Amino acid sequence: MPYKPQSEPGKTDYQPDVQITTLGEKIGDPAAPADFPKHILRFRNDRWDQSVGLDELSEEQWLNHFGKFEPLADNLDPPLALRYHGHQFRTYNPEIGDGRGFLFAQLRDHEQRLMDLGTKGSGTTRWSRTGDGRLTLKGAVREILATEMLEALGVNSSKTFSVVETGEQSMRGDEPSPTRSAAMTRLSHGHIRIGTFQRIAYEKNEKLMHQLVAYCLDHYYGGAQSGDPAAELFAHATREVAKLAGAYMTAGFVHGVLNTDNINITGESFDYGPWRFTPYWEPAFTAAYFDHEGLYCFARQPEALHWNLAQLASALRLIADSDPLVETLETFPKAYGTAFTEHFCWRLGVVSEGFEKDRDLVVAAEKGLAAKTTHIDRFFHDWCKMDDLAKPDELDPEFADFGSLIAERGRSRKPNSRYWQQPEPCSMHIDEVESIWNAIADKDDWSPLSKKIENIRNMGQALRNG
């Protein structure tokens, strides 16, 4: 099956629909936003605000909701800091939860999906431990860049919805400090994490586990179809997380912190900290400086996600038999292989010739990329822009196998977008991320960020439409 990227934004009216409270008071705790000295609008997602009917808010209204966090009409009041646990670098941590964010609102999008607006950097909560509840402005800018790039590359990701600079200075051990701060809001297809299930299993709360399984099936997967809802939900999550693994690899993306509290039950990628895009196809490329073992390095991401699914299965054992869970868990490698092949062919823009031939093509491309003579984005860009796919003689020798396999293929899109005329691919390597941030830090110059977002969105358009 050809890969189908997530939906495009559309237009709808504001449709509040608070469902989280049906799960009772053990799912989250009332939270209060911090009282920030300033509210300066730095980013408003003008693609996605219309999709939840918030595009007509004035700037003042926007800042009231996404800087001061005044509740949206008929929505959560107060917001809820969600409870969860998680395995962090494989060690179980029962002390975490929303420590610098909360679920601010729930509302329907243009496809009637139940969406969450969740915050990061909005102040301390019951779960902050020793943290300050804040997000650095650099962290917010990095999250904008990651989410825009992933969306363009067809990865199922949360959207950065709003960034408001708060006028506060924060201290960080790993950034020049004091540093500017921001309150960020993300638009996400839910905030139920594997860690949410782990916490409920830890507390042996069978009733809530049943309720949460039903909630996820109803709101994210079209409702229960069988007499074994936990196994059914696990099958959905396994399929979607396998797709996520395939998408990360195709994008050359390294999330950096694939802990179970950062994995959404919908398989939507979210929570961007020390992420990076690897320039070359380098299996050991690691994003987080504190990931000393390379646990979450580029090529180990599918394995890390599979391991996380095993933790979900283990939590679901509270209310389900193990056999169907284990059976589903074993489907992951194949599901991942299929998802990776489909996504890679989508990015190449070639017509599918069935799984086996597609897989052989991807293996040949990977072999060429593994020689590390060509950046990943350059490779895709050059193929996508070519008038004629059949030019194997122009290829470097490491891509000879790829060239002979691709020569006979058809295109699935026309390379007629102006984006493809650019000599350079749109990448997101660390030097550029730092230089976009430095323009803001040194001169308060936001134009490199705006230009980059425009270029990324043009690439996304070209990949989707030709």
- Catalytic residues, which ones? 261
Residue nearest to ligand AMP (CB): 131
Q: What three-state secondary structure class fits 212?
A: helix
Rounded Cα distance, 47 and 8, in Å:
9
Distance set, CA 253 to CA 49, 131, 213 (Å): 26, 28, 30
Closest distance of CB 120 from ligand AMP, Å: 8
Report if residue 274 touches ligand AMP, rule: CB under 6 A. no
Report if residue 179 touches ligand AMP, rule: CB under 6 A. no
User: 332-348 and 376-385 helices cross at what angle (nearest 10)?
Assistant: 50
Rounded Cα distance, 283 and 300, in Å:
8
- The interface mask with ligand AMP, positions 58-97, x = CB under 6 A, is --------------------------------------xx
Cβ distance to ligand AMP smaller for residue 100 or 186: 100
Cβ distance to ligand AMP smaller for residue 293 or 408: 293
Given ligand AMP, Mg ion, none, residue 437, with its beta carbon under 5 to 8 Å by kind, binds none
Interface with ligand AMP (CB under 6 A), residue from 39, 42, 100, 108 = 100
Report if residue 98 touches ligand AMP, rule: CB under 6 A. yes
Burial 103-136 (b: 16+ CB within 10 A, else e): bbbbbbbbeebbbbbbbbbbbbbebbeeebbbbb
Only segment of 256-264, 309-317, 391-399, 453-461 that touches ligand AMP (CB under 6 A): 256-264
Cβ distance to ligand AMP smaller for residue 96 or 363: 96
Interface with Mg ion (CB under 5 A), residue from 29, 109, 271, 377 = 271
Only segment of 124-132, 270-278, 292-300, 447-455 that touches Mg ion (CB under 5 A): 270-278
Interface with ligand AMP (CB under 6 A), residue from 50, 75, 128, 314 = 128
Cβ atoms of 92 and 120 within 8 Å: the answer is no
Name residues whose C-beta falls within 8 Å of residue 14's C-beta, 6 or more positions apart in sequence: 52, 53, 54, 72, 73, 107
Rounded Cα distance, 263 and 95, in Å:
17
Cβ atoms of 411 and 389 within 8 Å: the answer is yes
Given Mg ion, ligand AMP, none, residue 218, with its beta carbon under 5 to 8 Å by kind, binds none
Distance set, CA 428 to CA 48, 129, 253 (Å): 22, 33, 10
**Which spans of this chain sit near ligand AMP (rule: CB under 6 A)?**
96-100, 127-128, 131-134, 257, 261-262, 271, 273
